[in-house]
């Protein structure tokens, strides 16, 4: 196969897409209190600004990959950007909580189309040379932690010096530029004949959303509806000719245990990140820019470890020890945050513990991702990657819902009462630490030890 002469310019477009999709989860963090004030979110309902995106993104990733195969990756990549732009317009223009949630959900749909299509296009562009492919995968993979880091900082700058709607407006010109670059830089990709498991994709996404809502609202009817939809998803996967997730994939060695680790990693990390944002602004009184700057050391540490250190350790020690150690270190860091005080300070109450938590996250994430994919057959690698990304997002949404309920029950809804707020946030940190520690124990018990990791490059997947 001959090399595409514009492949490196195309990689810039694909890496930028990965950067923006990941940044969409972090850029809203420091803007949350301003959005809450302007749009009337309750303290418990505020989590839906995050969860609406990750539920749509995680629930539809497998469907996005299937659509990319059937209709061509370039077409789905462009469609995803168009939907992401539309969602950004809705989110930026929202004048009510429900409209903001709608916009974030639309953005998540766009991201679920962009991410798998971008990976397919990258493989097409660089499959002619394994060494070039490895280099391209590394650069593409680095865009994920870079997006997370930039989102934290840019979210603070934009919210402080412009206003919170601009954290969504920035996606509009960037998305338009990406759409304009597609025809000249990205290769045309023919589709293939086949069916689309729309029922499976929609039942999974709606089921996850209802379960999250049930946890937030303690609504047993929603819980029953969510369970029924998830049961329908499993039935559909067993009966249709072209399921999104053939259930036989779960016979892959190590897949279930690795996905459990990813689920619990997301369920511990995201609540910690979310409530740390709120503690900085609602208790310590930081504005948007200082809050974003305060989180920057943590996110830079993640980027440094994931790119420069974890991959080397993975090659030397294998996945299981790093996953167990990473989850334990994350638990220790989050326990440290649970000692935050109403009259605390960034240097004493936030910085040391957040850096420890960041190291734990960095040690566990890539090994869990690689472990989930390492046992899959080559033809199932894309499906395994999609599943592990989905479980991380689902874990994030469920964990945030549970910890929000815990925090609210302990006083986190009492805005203005710094002692009660801190009590609620402390309870959420303790809960997240318990989840991380449980993940370490379960990984120790159920994960196999297959020797050494066979890859030494981070997977270009969602951080």
What secondary structure does DSSP assign to 54-71, as a single string?
Answer: HHHHHHHHHHHHHHHHHH
Residues 344 and 314 sit within 8 Å (Cβ to Cβ): no
- Give the pLDDT of residue 434: 98
Phi, psi of 294 (to 5 degrees): -65, -30
Q: According to the model, what pLDDT value does residue 353 have?
A: 97
- Cα–Cα–Cα angle for 37, 106, 239, nearest 5°? 135
Helix (H) or strand (E) holding 205: helix 198-217
- Spell out the residues 6+ positions from residue 425 whose beta carbon is closer than 8 angstroms to its own: 275, 278, 279, 283, 340, 407, 412
Tokens 């592990």 locate to: 388
Calpha distance 431→399 (Å, rounded):
9
* In contact, 356 and 362? CB cutoff 8 Å: no
Q: Which of 261, 268, 442 is CA-nearest to residue 338?
A: 268
CA-based nearest residue to 273, from 366, 400, 391, 163: 400
Under 8 Å between Cβ of 384 and 373: yes
pLDDT at site 459: 43
Q: Are 196 and 70 in contact (CB under 8 A)?
A: yes
Cβ count near 448 (within 10 Å)? 13
The pLDDT value recorded for residue 190 is 75
Phi-psi region of 451 (alpha: psi -120 to 50; beta: other; left: phi over 0): left
pLDDT in tens, the chain (463 residues): 567 778 888 888 998 888 888 888 888 988 999 999 999 999 889 999 999 999 999 899 889 888 888 888 899 999 999 999 999 999 999 999 999 999 999 999 999 999 888 888 887 888 777 777 767 776 776 777 678 778 888 898 999 899 999 999 999 999 999 999 999 888 887 777 777 889 999 999 999 999 999 998 888 999 999 999 999 999 999 999 889 999 989 988 889 999 999 999 999 999 999 999 999 999 999 988 999 899 889 888 888 887 778 878 888 888 899 999 999 999 999 999 999 999 999 999 999 999 999 999 989 988 888 888 777 776 677 788 789 889 998 999 999 999 999 999 999 988 889 999 999 999 999 999 999 999 999 999 998 875 443 444 444 344 3
Cβ-based neighbours of 241, under 8 Å, separated by 6 or more:
195
Q: pTM score, two decimals?
A: 0.87
Question: Rounded to an integer, what distance in angstroms lies between the CA atom of residue 254 and that of residue 252?
Answer: 6
Alpha-carbon distance of 66 to 70, in angstroms, equals 6
For every residue of 419-433, which 3-state class applies, written as one string?
HHHHHHHHHHHHHHH
- With beta carbons less than 8 A apart as the criterion, state whether 52 and 101 touch: yes
CA–CA separation, 362 and 364 (whole Å): 6
DSSP assignment letter at 2:
P
Distance CA 299, CA 306 (A): 11
Burial class (CB in 10 A: 0-12, 13-18, 19+), 457: middle
- The pLDDT score that the predictor gives to residue 148 is 76
């Amino acid at each position: 196969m001959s090399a595409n002469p514009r492949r490196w310019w195309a990689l810039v477009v694909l890496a930028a897409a990965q950067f923006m999709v990941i940044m969409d989860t972090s850029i809203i963090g420091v803007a949350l209190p301003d959005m809450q004030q302007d749009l009337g979110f309750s303290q418990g309902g505020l989590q839906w600004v995050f969860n609406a995106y990750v539920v749509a993104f995680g629930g539809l990733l497998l469907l996005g990959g299937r659509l990319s195969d059937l209709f061509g990756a370039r077409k789905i990549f462009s469609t995803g950007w168009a939907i992401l732009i539309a969602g950004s317009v809705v989110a930026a223009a929202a004048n009510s909580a429900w409209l903001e949630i709608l916009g974030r959900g639309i953005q998540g749909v766009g991201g679920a189309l962009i991410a798998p299509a971008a990976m397919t296009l990258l493989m097409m562009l660089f499959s002619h040379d394994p060494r070039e492919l490895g280099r391209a995968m590394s650069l593409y993979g680095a865009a994920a932690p870079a997006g997370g880091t930039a989102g934290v900082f840019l979210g603070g700058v934009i919210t402080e010096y412009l206003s919170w709607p601009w954290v969504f407006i920035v996606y509009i010109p960037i998305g338009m530029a990406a759409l304009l670059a597609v025809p000249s830089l990205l290769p045309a990709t023919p589709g293939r004949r086949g069916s689309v498991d729309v029922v499976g994709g929609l039942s999974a996404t709606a089921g996850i959303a209802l379960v999250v809502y049930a946890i937030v609202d303690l609504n047993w009817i929603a819980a029953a509806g969510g369970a029924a939809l998830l049961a329908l998803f499993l039935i559909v996967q067993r009966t249709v000719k072209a399921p999104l997730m053939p259930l036989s994939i779960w016979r892959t060695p190590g897949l279930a245990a690795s996905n459990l680790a990813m689920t619990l990693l997301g369920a511990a990390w995201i609540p910690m990140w979310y409530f740390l944002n709120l503690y900085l602004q609602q208790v310590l009184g930081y504005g948007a820019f200082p809050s974003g700057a305060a989180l920057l050391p943590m996110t830079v540490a993640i980027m440094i470890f994931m790119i420069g250190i974890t991959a080397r350790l993975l090659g030397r020690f294998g996945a299981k020890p790093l996953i167990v150690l990473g989850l334990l270190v994350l638990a220790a860091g989050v326990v440290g945050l649970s000692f935050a005080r109403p009259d605390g300070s960034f240097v004493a109450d936030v910085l040391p513990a957040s850096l420890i938590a960041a190291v734990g996250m960095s040690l566990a994430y890539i090994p869990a991702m690689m472990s989930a994919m390492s046992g899959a057959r080559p033809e199932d690698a894309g499906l395994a990657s999609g599943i592990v990304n989905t479980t991380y997002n689902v874990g994030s949404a469920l964990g945030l819902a549970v910890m929000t309920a815990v925090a609210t029950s302990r006083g986190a809804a009492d805005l203005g009462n710094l002692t009660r707020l801190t009590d609620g946030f402390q309870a959420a940190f303790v809960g997240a630490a318990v989840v991380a520690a449980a993940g370490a124990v379960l990984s120790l018990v159920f994960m196999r030890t297959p020797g050494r990791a066979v890859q030494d490059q981070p997977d270009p997947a969602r951080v």
